[in-house]
Amino acid sequence: MIQKLKPFLPHFLLALSGAISVFSFAPLYLFPLMWLSLAALTFFIQKSASPKAAAWRGFSFGLGFFLANIYWVFISLNTFGGVPAPMAAGGVLVLAAYMALFPALAGWLTLKLPSPASLRVLLLPTVFILTEWLRGWLFTGFPWASIGYSQSPMTPLAGYAPIGGVYLIGWLLCLCVALIVSKPKWLKGWGIVAGIWLAGWGLNQQEWTSKVGEPVKVSLVQGNISQDIKWDNAFYLGSLKNYLELTQKTRGQLVVLPETAIPSFISSVPDWYPKMLRDAVAPRKADLILGIPVLGAHEAEYYNAATVMSDPALPLYKKQHLVPFGEFIPLPWLFNWIYQFMDMPLSGFSRGAVKQAPFSLASGQIAANICYEDVFGREIINALPEATMLVNLSNLAWFDGSWAAAQHAQMSQTRALETGRYMLRATNTGVTAIIDEKGRFKKVLPERQAGILEGTAQNRSGSPPYAWGGDYPLLIALGSLLIALGLLKRRQ
């Protein structure tokens, strides 16, 4: 019996290793666990008998990794989406299995691609990060739990974020692990690892952007409206009153309310409400940004948007990267049937323009992004160099009580590092926070309670290297590295 199970032992250990990676991300930030997780993956792929065997091992690792890191999708589907529990669990399993295909591809390529034996240590880090980038791009992308986030912002590797973003952090992390696992007694390898860390520490001391003006007083409002009543007409006026009363208590020059703080189109809002919101901030001439769905120019066209409510002209930012299945239906001819089981209000949003001008306000050039958008570093940099501050408006009540909100906030920390900008997070239920240009939390509001986070934020100008090229310089470099390894092998 034991002999029959022995071939499955590596797969079990890999799935377990993938699963423990969840503790390396927020809210626990146990970053060494990602090193252990990747060490197991590296060891077992190197010991694989064939590319096919390596692919299956990569898949096992990925399945454990993603089941642990996106378990909260079940809460969204079942608790708030109304999907029956067995179907919701099956949906999470299918999504995790799809995402596990990318580390499976990395395993296959590691054994399939040519390379000199002395340089094979470079293969897995390179193909792993290339496939991870592919996961964040294909079918609009889902880059959640990219491994680089596990080292940001608290390790020296985070110092590389302004240079090459989260994927450069991930590649260097994989390289360090591969050097240690492949050649544990090679002193030069340990020297390279130490050099990478020391250089990262030095880069983290670098000021990539400059201060603009004096610090701005900001007020970030957290309404704590439960998702099960947020879109219920019986609670509509109560929700409006909740945000009005909180806004009246704010003291900042920039006041930010969360995504869909007003849960209806502006045409459905009582006439008195926008005026009372403006009156709440008018005495100190403060700027007020909030989330609201807006109608487009054509029939059945509507957007998830942010507007400057303190400006009667209501300038808009329209969300451009929508959440699959939550905000739009991918391949409707294939997936439309799912919606008979789901309760997803306003699930047919239109996309805004890829590049939109920041809000030009007294408090700064404020670039808004909405919820899921700040998971995509390559898109956040579209606001630079004009934007002097970033603002994220989110509603993560869909995943209430899970680690999704903390994981999302860690990605916001990395966006702050990549852009050299403050990131203000105004959320419905958390994590509402002020994040500085180094990705550090300056102030955080406790989750799942109504309140106002009062603090200061600094406008900044200038562009770190990542803001100029995004992910593309790294992708070109890694692709060139694979070609070079192949050519060197052919010469041998």
Res 82: pLDDT: 80
| pLDDT tens digits for range 86-121 | 998 998 999 999 999 999 999 999 999 999 988 999
Going from N- to C-terminal start, the domains of the chain cover 2-206+470-491, 210-463
The predicted pLDDT at position 163 comes to 98
Residue 489 clears pLDDT 90, i.e. is over it: no
Q: Within a 10 A sphere around the Cβ of 475, how many other Cβ atoms?
A: 18
Looking at 42-46, 107-111, 225-229, 384-388, which range is the least confident one? Answer: 225-229
pLDDT at 349: 86
Is the pLDDT higher at 25 or at 430? 25
Structure tokens at 146: 């990219």
Q: What is the pLDDT of residue 266?
A: 86
Question: Which one of the listed residues 132, 176, 217, 259 is annotated catalytic?
Answer: 259
pLDDT at 19: 98
Contacts for 36-39: CB closer than 8 Å, 24+ residues apart: 37/65, 38/147, 38/173, 38/174, 38/177, 39/177, 39/180, 39/181
User: How far is 393 from 411, CA to CA, in rounded Å?
Assistant: 14
For the record, the structure tokens of 328 come out as 């739009």
Structure tokens that stand for 264 in this block: 């209806």
Terminal C-alpha separation, the chain: 45
What is 210-463's CATH superfamily? Carbon-nitrogen hydrolase (3.60.110.10)
Q: Is the pTM of this model over 0.85?
A: yes
Q: Which two tokens stand for residue 285?
A: 């001439």
Dump pLDDT digits (tens) for 326-370. Answer: 666 665 655 666 666 666 665 678 999 999 999 999 999 999 999
Closest-CA residue to 231 (of 406, 82, 449): 82
Tokens 């562009």 belong to 463
pLDDT at 214: 97
**pLDDT for res 346:** 59
Full 3-state SS string of the chain: CHHHHHHHHHHHHHHHHHHHHHHHCCCCCCCHHHHHHHHHHHHHHHCCCCHHHHHHHHHHHHHHHHHHHCCCHHHHHHHHCCCCHHHHHHHHHHHHHHHHHHHHHHHHHHHHCCCCHHHHHHHHHHHHHHHHHHHCCHHHCCCCCCHHHHHCCCCHHHHHHHHHHHHHHHHHHHHHHHHHHHCCCCHHHHHHHHHHHHHHHHHHCCCCCEEEEEEEEEEEEECCCCHHHHCCHHHHHHHHHHHHHHHHCCCCCEEECCCCCCCCCHHHCCCHHHHHHHHHHHHHCCEEEEEEEEECCCCCCEEEEEEECCCCCCCEEECCCCCECCCECCCHHHHHHHHHCCCCCCCCCCCCCCCCCCEEECCEEEEEEEHHHHHCHHHHHHHCCCCCEEEEEECCHHHCCCCHHHHHHHHHHHHHHHHCCCEEEEECCCCCEEECCCCCEEEECCCCCCEEEEEEEEEEECCCHHHHHCCHHHHHHHHHHHHHHHHHHHHC
Q: Is 371 known to be catalytic?
A: yes
pLDDT at residue 48 tops 70: yes
Asked whether the predicted pLDDT for residue 460 surpasses 80, the reply is yes
The tens digit of pLDDT for each residue in 276-304 reads 999 999 999 999 999 999 998 887 789 99
Residue 319: pLDDT band with limits 50, 70, 90: very high
CB contact set of 138 (below 8 Å; sequence gap of 6+): none
Q: What is the pLDDT of residue 6?
A: 76
Summary mean pLDDT of the chain: 94
Choosing from 319, 327, 373, 418, which is the catalytic residue?
A: 319
pLDDT in tens, 161-184: 999 999 999 999 999 999 999 988
Q: Give the lowest-confidence range in 37-51, 69-83, 274-288, 388-402.
A: 69-83
The reply to whether 188 belongs to the active site is no
pLDDT confidence of residue 1: 61
Catalytic residue, from 174, 371, 373, 437: name it: 371
**How many Cα atoms sit within 13 Å of 82 on the Cβ side?**
10
Distance of CA 238 to the CA centre of its chain: 31
- In contact, 31 and 24? CB cutoff 8 Å: yes
